[in-house]
Amino acid sequence: MPNPEEDIQGATAIDFFARMNAEGVDYALLRNYEHFPKFHHDLDLVVRWSDLPRWRSVAKSCAIDHGWSVLTECDHWACSSSREHTLQALRFYSTNPPRYLHIDAFHAFLVLGLPLVDEEALLRERTWDTRGFYRINESIENFDRLLQIASVAGKSEKPETLEKIERYRQRVLSFLEAGNDFVDLAAAIGFPKIAASLVLLRSGDVQSFKKEIDRQKRAWLIRRVLSHPFGASKMIFDRFVDHLRLFWIRPCGFTIRAFASNEAQRERLEQIMRRLVDANVIFLFTSSTDSSERRRVKERAGIVLDWVSMKSAQIVMDGQADEQGIIAKLLALIIERHPRVWDGRETSG
């Protein structure tokens, strides 16, 4: 069992990359490495397809050696018929105390469902970071950051969203002010007019920047489809099927049926859920009855609480409910959602 004071996520991240390097796995970290080994939610990597078995084996050995309770692999994002759309996701869980680490393996940067930069290009240009890991080329990273700013802008006025946009904007501007550039790179991958968007980004006019990027993305898509009509059309259709499956038929998030004996017990369960969000064990949750909100939470791998009768409840909140017991039940339901790569509870129990 990990020490409650130990930074099990940070220790695992450091060791994970050391073992990946030792095993010769072809990978590169995509983003959010500034405070390594601290990560906000997860580790996003590009991993060579043929190296996935070794990537999985390294993660399993880290889970065992660092005292994690369970390692699961999400089977929701790994079912596309297009490799570029496929995402392998490993999830480390510690049940006591509740801890979580998420490692994703991507295989391309996508724009409107088509690969803008493929796995081979991302890995070919990777850079060694003296902190002990490979990361993608900074020009590619910052160009992708432009697209992320445009993608997020306008979706929400929440402080954390606005903070993310500004943080990414400052990262791009710092990259450019240091004498770097990605205009030639952008032109080479199909965005010859990216300089126009940079003027808007520098001015702080994020909404106009978003409109300009979206216009250039549509122009890129048209050129791509015209130059590769069969392959591009098939991949767009595959992406549509993926979204239908992932966001409507079988989303990664799910519903937990809960019973509360009174309003105080409802609030108590919601407080427990908020603490799990704060501890980064779950992404988000809702007890709303609004269908659009429930779908949004499930799309983002969150949990929807359904208030039901005691007879049909998976979680029962009453005066006898022990908080640690409730957390254990919640974690068990979350863990059972996906296939287990390794389960230390079976060997320790």
User: Domain holding 15: CATH number?
Assistant: 3.30.460
Whether residues 304 and 332 share a domain: the answer is: yes
Residue 200, pLDDT > 50, answer yes
The mean per-residue pLDDT over the stretch 250-274 comes to: 92
Given 250, 271, 299, the domain boundary residue is 250
Q: Say how many domains are in the chain.
A: 3
d(CA 349, CA 335): 16
The mean per-residue pLDDT over the stretch 210-229 comes to: 95
Q: Residue 63's domain spans which residues? A: 1-136
Whether residues 246 and 301 share a domain: the answer is: no
Whether residues 100 and 1 share a domain: the answer is: yes
The mean per-residue pLDDT over the stretch 94-106 comes to: 92
What is the model's pLDDT at position 1? 43
Whether residues 146 and 224 share a domain: the answer is: yes
Q: Pairing relation of β-strands 303-307 and 285-286?
A: parallel
Residue 120, pLDDT > 80, answer yes
Whether residues 92 and 7 share a domain: the answer is: yes
Greatest distance between any 2 Cα atoms in the chain: 66
Whether residues 66 and 80 share a domain: the answer is: yes
Whether residues 19 and 84 share a domain: the answer is: yes
d(CA 26, CA 20): 8
Residue 75, pLDDT > 90, answer no
What secondary structure letter does DSSP report for 246? I
The mean per-residue pLDDT over the stretch 276-296 comes to: 90
Please tell me the pTM assigned to this model.
0.89
Whether residues 143 and 231 share a domain: the answer is: yes
Residue 2, pLDDT > 60, answer no
Of the listed ranges 16-30, 148-162, 330-344, the least confidently predicted one is 148-162
Given 232, 250, 268, the domain boundary residue is 250
Whether residues 147 and 223 share a domain: the answer is: yes
Classify each residue of 239-258 as buried b or exposed e, where b means 16 or more C-beta atoms within 10 Å of its C-beta: bebbeeebbeeebbbeebbb
| DSSP strands (E only) in the chain | 27-29, 42-47, 70-74, 88-95, 98-106, 108-111, 114-118, 127-129, 133-135, 254-260, 285-286, 303-307, 315-317, 340-343
What is the model's pLDDT at position 40? 67
- Asked whether 134 and 28 are in contact (CB, 8 A), the reply is yes
3-class secondary-structure state, position 34: coil
Q: How far is CA 155 from CA 143, 150, 210, 265, in A?
A: 20, 10, 11, 33
